Amino acid sequence: MTQPTQHDEGRIIIFDTTLRDGEQSPGVALNHTQKLEIAHQLARLGVDVIEAGFPIASPGDLEGVSRIAREVRGPIIAGLARAGRADIEAAARAVEHAGKPRIHTFIATSPIHMAKKLNLEPDAVVERAVQAVTLARSFVDDVEFSAEDATRSDWDFLVRIFQAAVEAGATTINVPDTVGYTTPDEMRRLFAHLKAQLPAHVILSSHCHDDLGMAVANSIAAAEGGARQIECTVNGIGERAGNASLEEIVMAFHTRRDAYPFATGIRTRELYRSSRMVSRLSGMPVQPNKAIIGDNAFAHESGIHQDGVIKARETYEIMNAELVGREAAVLVMGKHSGRAAFRKALTDLGYADLPDDKVQYLFSRFKDLADRKGQIYADDLRALVEARTDVPQT
Ligand code: KIV
Ligand code: ZN
């Protein structure tokens, strides 16, 4: 697979950072075997880049990235490094056996980060960035440079540091919304501005956090402004409120092709399996109402909706569950369910030929039961049908 360039108009590179930023979710720690299992699944899913870890963080992290680099073929394998020699050398060692290695180096560019965290003047930050990219390029051809806290940075300063990084050899320029502060409109304008200032061969990338619940919207807006790489995680896991959710971005592009002229290389039928695996191995449950992969994402409860989907799924489904690798939509039987769904549930359980008056009677008993019990399962329905009660004669 050759890496798409900015000239492949509309092809978005999916950079998955589940194993790096995702693993920075409080409470998550994956061992090597778990990381490798997820990395193989990410390759099956069709991501273009796997950010496998932060090699300087610990010998274990370096070894984990190194195993993925040796064993997973297909995607580019990236290791993260701060803009310093030790970090970059560790990242270079970790990815050296990858079929397609990348070093991803970063330094903060916002006034608050430069003054309070780095204690560096802007000129010194640019110098460090250039040194870091130059050193990284001495190990690999594929170097990504990120300006941490870019969305709270001065735009002229961003252009300056990005131009310097590109001249030093960076091939991808990443714009992180590190603290989830930006808005879609701001993101679209920032990317359009950067695209106009940087050479056309540079791949612009977005990296959004979800502190205000806008990570996916901001990532899509970045693509509209000119981003050709989006960094995201499976299930949206990551620091604090998490990162942009891979499955939501991919399905937004897929479902709204009319609105967004973008395509990814993701095999959408692998989305659900990937989500389940990441949830199981990270120990982070997925909220039931999470778009695309939550338990309720394709479940219909109300009678009106159930009646609609029995007649035509498109009435209340904008995408098929099967497309993301799930079972067909479920009709949840409860007090909001109507006759049509009740009849269908009985038919699915093998009671297709019950007379109408019997179904009518069972339906009223089902409603009483649902009032008392909430959700009604297949066994409850079987018990209702099999109960030795005759339909009362009026
Ligand atoms: O959020 C962030 O700024 C990051 C960078 C290291 C890319 O994760
Ligand atoms: Zn991040």
Backbone angles phi, psi at 303, to 5 degrees: -55, -40
Model confidence at 5, pLDDT cuts 50, 70, 90, reads very low
Quick: pLDDT tens for 116-127.
Answer: 999 999 999 999
CB 53 within 8 A of CB 39: no
pLDDT over threshold 50, residue 328 = yes
Q: What Rg value do the Cα atoms of the chain yield, rounded?
A: 25
Nearest C-alpha neighbor of 75 from the set 203, 219, 266: 266
Q: Would you say the CB of residue 177 lies under 6 angstroms from ligand 1?
A: no
Report the length, in residues, of the chain: 394
Whole-number pLDDT of residue 329 = 74
Number of the ligand 1 atom closest to the C-alpha atom of 209: 1
Could you give the CA distance from residue 376 to residue 363 in angstroms, rounded to a whole number? 12
Quick: pLDDT tens for 271-282.
Answer: 999 999 999 999
378 Cβ contact list (under 8 Å, min separation 6): 345, 349
**Beta bridge partner(s), residue 102:** 78
User: What's the gap in Å between 108 CA and the centre of ligand 1?
Assistant: 9
**57, two tokens:** 């963080």
Mutate-to-test residue for ligand 1 from 49, 80, 106, highest number of ligand atoms within 8 A of CB: 106
Burial of 317 (0-12, 13-18, 19+ CB in 10 A): middle
Could you give the CA distance from residue 348 to residue 369 in angstroms, rounded to a whole number? 20
**For range 21-30, the mean pLDDT:** 92
Quick: pLDDT tens for 358-371.
Answer: 999 999 999 999 99
- Global pTM reads 0.92
Q: Would you say the CB of residue 146 lies under 6 angstroms from ligand 1?
A: yes
Protein residue whose Cα sits closest to atom 8 of ligand 1 = 21
Q: Would you say the CB of residue 148 lies under 6 angstroms from ligand 1?
A: yes
For 226-355, list the strands marked E by DSSP: 229-232, 299-300, 330-331
ipTM of this complex prediction, to 2 decimal places:
0.99
